[in-house]
């Protein structure tokens, strides 16, 4: 296996080169006072390092390569950002590197300075056939350390997912209420019907529904009509009323329904049929228009989740999953897993994104709190970590683990992972 540059970053950052007092390739003594801060952007690998070379103290950047000749291969000699590099850390010093002013760039060769077992452990870790690299060692890592790193990973996940929120906010010219409404509608589609739900929300702005906030029948007519479910023949009174109302509202507001062939019913439990989800969505809109503004004022997690309980779903749906097909004992209310889904994928995300955008840290804290009070998802990824010995009770940890698996474990970035680093150092 080729020695990865990231492994040398690991050796440098955690001072695993065996001795405080080192010697450069030139023969000069080196004392590392501060290794510097890792740089994840363009430019040298570590910034603000502090070194004592001979009798002179230097402060600047550190660049790390497997071979010193990599400096030329990467063309750092042409980049002004590398003019303040004070030390070149390499595994093999195969070629002298000179600065533009002709002075020799100091070089620290790591080959032979760290324990061979470190590299062997790393190669075994990322070369393992386990379902994730540290599957066999995870149970040996201190729970406090794991939870600390998962907190950081959760922030990474929320920041990554916030990009979609900010893009929608920009599209809607800063309208956070409409953004939340669209994202919540998409979430009501539960993946399989997310696209038509999103298109429905785009075709039916919240401000239009707000005009009928005290008229439940009109809101239901707008939602089912725009979804394309009212362009058929009905025998029962309720759907006939909806169709009559919608034809009037469609003409009044110059509306165009979405393509109803987008909705999926196949291989779904009847409780998840889009018609029933739309009835629940309509009930939520009837109860709480401009929902995000209301959520921003709520102080406790339980009250947020209660917004999705006891929805005023039209009684017609007690005996129907479709408009023209009767059923027995239909449950009108959202299940706990559905409410948890909204808490995780819409409410906490929007609270975090809004808190960051408005520099209101108490809202990001509330986002974390909501996840801590929401049950963990049940899926194959979470089961992997549970079987490896990790206890996962809340969405705070389960969301972090989904990010950990995707961006660290799958990519085998053990040297960037607090858990992987702990295992390697041990």
pLDDT in tens, 329-375: 889 999 999 999 999 999 999 999 999 999 999 999 999 999 999 99
Neighbours of 128 (CB within 10 A): 15
- Beta-bridged to residue 59, according to DSSP, are 50
Residue 229 tokens read as 């479910």
Q: Write the CB contacts of 327 (distance below 8 Å, at least 6 apart in sequence).
A: 270, 319, 320, 321
Cβ atoms of residues 256 and 278 within 8 Å: no
By CB atoms closer than 10 A (0-12, 13-18, 19+), residue 65 is buried
pLDDT of residue 325: 84
Residue 362 tokens read as 């108490």
Per residue in 39-52, pLDDT (tens digit) is 988 899 999 999 99
Q: Which of 101-110, 119-128, 400-409, 414-423 has the lowest mean pLDDT?
A: 119-128
Percentage of residues of the chain with pLDDT beyond 70: 100
Vertex 208 angle, CA 309 and 199, to 5°: 75
pLDDT at residue 182 greater than cutoff 70: yes
- H-helix or E-strand containing 241? helix 237-253
Cβ atoms of residues 26 and 49 within 8 Å: no
Residue 275 tokens read as 């018609």
Cβ atoms of residues 404 and 380 within 8 Å: no
pLDDT at residue 30 greater than cutoff 60: yes
pLDDT of residue 19: 72
Query: Which of the listed ranges 36-50, 263-277, 290-304, 344-358 does the model predict with the highest average pLDDT?
Result: 344-358
Greatest C-alpha distance within the chain: 95
Q: What is the DSSP string of 210-227?
A: HTTTT-HHHHHHHHHHHT
pLDDT of residue 41: 87
Among residues 68, 72, 70, 116, which one has the least CA distance to residue 92? 68
Q: How far is CA 205 from CA 35, 198, 252, in A?
A: 54, 11, 15
Segment 228-251 shows an average pLDDT of 96
pLDDT of residue 50: 96
pLDDT band at 425 (very low <50, low <70, confident <90, very high): confident
pLDDT of residue 1: 54
Residue 277 tokens read as 């989800």
pLDDT at residue 171 greater than cutoff 70: yes
Q: Write the CB contacts of 383 (distance below 8 Å, at least 6 apart in sequence).
A: none
pLDDT of residue 117: 85
Per residue in 3-12, pLDDT (tens digit) is 889 999 999 9
pLDDT of residue 120: 87
Segment 107-113 shows an average pLDDT of 94
Percentage of residues of the chain with pLDDT beyond 90: 85
pLDDT of residue 95: 94
Q: What are the φ and ψ backbone dihedral angles of 50, each rounded to 5 degrees?
A: -130, 120
- Beta-bridged to residue 198, according to DSSP, are none
pLDDT of residue 20: 67
Enumerate the H helices of 87-142 as residue ranges: 116-126
Segment 110-123 shows an average pLDDT of 89
Q: How far is 29 from 47, CA to CA, in rounded Å?
A: 21
Cβ atoms of residues 59 and 86 within 8 Å: yes
pLDDT of residue 249: 98
> Across the chain, what does the average pLDDT equal?
94
């Amino acid at each position: 296996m080729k020695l990865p540059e990231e492994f040398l970053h690991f050796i440098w950052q955690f001072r695993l080169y065996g001795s405080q007092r080192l010697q450069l390739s030139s023969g000069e003594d080196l004392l590392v006072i501060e290794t510097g801060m890792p740089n994840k952007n363009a430019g040298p690998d570590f910034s603000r390092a502090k070194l004592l070379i001979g009798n002179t103290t230097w402060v600047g950047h550190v660049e790390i390569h497997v071979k010193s000749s990599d400096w030329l291969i990467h063309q750092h000699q042409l980049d002004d950002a590398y003019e303040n590099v004070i030390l070149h850390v390499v595994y093999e010093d195969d070629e002298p590197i000179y600065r533009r002013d002709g002075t020799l760039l100091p070089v620290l060769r790591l080959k032979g300075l760290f324990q061979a077992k470190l590299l062997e452990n790393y190669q075994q870790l990322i070369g393992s056939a386990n379902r994730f690299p540290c599957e066999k060692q995870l149970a040996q890592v201190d729970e406090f350390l794991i939870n600390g790193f998962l907190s950081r990973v959760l922030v990474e996940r929320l920041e990554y997912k916030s990009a979609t929120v900010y893009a929608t906010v920009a599209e809607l010219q800063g309208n956070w209420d409409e953004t939340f409404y669209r994202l919540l509608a998409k979430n009501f589609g539960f993946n399989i019907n997310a696209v038509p739900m999103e298109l429905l929300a785009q075709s039916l702005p919240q401000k239009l529904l707000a005009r009928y906030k005290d008229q439940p029948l009109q809101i239901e007519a707008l939602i089912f009509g725009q979804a394309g479910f009212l362009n058929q023949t009905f025998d029962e009174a309720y759907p006939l009323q909806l169709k009559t109302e919608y034809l009037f509202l469609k003409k009044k507001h110059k509306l165009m329904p979405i393509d109803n062939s987008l909705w999926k019913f196949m291989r779904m439990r009847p409780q998840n049929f889009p018609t029933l989800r739309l009835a629940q969505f309509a009930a939520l809109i009837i109860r709480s228009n401009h929902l995000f503004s209301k959520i921003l004022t709520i102080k406790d997690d339980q009250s947020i989740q209660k917004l999705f309980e006891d929805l005023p779903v039209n009684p017609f749906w007690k005996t129907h999953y479709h408009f023209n097909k009767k059923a027995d004992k239909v449950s009108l209310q959202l299940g706990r897993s559905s409410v948890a889904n909204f808490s995780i994928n819409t409410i906490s995300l929007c609270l975090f994104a809004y808190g960051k955008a408005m520099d209101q840290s108490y809202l990001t804290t509330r986002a974390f709190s909501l996840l801590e009070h929401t049950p963990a998802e049940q899926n194959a990824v979470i089961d992997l970590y549970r079987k490896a010995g990790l206890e996962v009770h809340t969405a705070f940890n389960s969301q972090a683990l989904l990010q950990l698996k995707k961006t660290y474990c799958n990519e085998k970035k053990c040297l960037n992972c607090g858990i992987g680093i702990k295992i390697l150092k041990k």
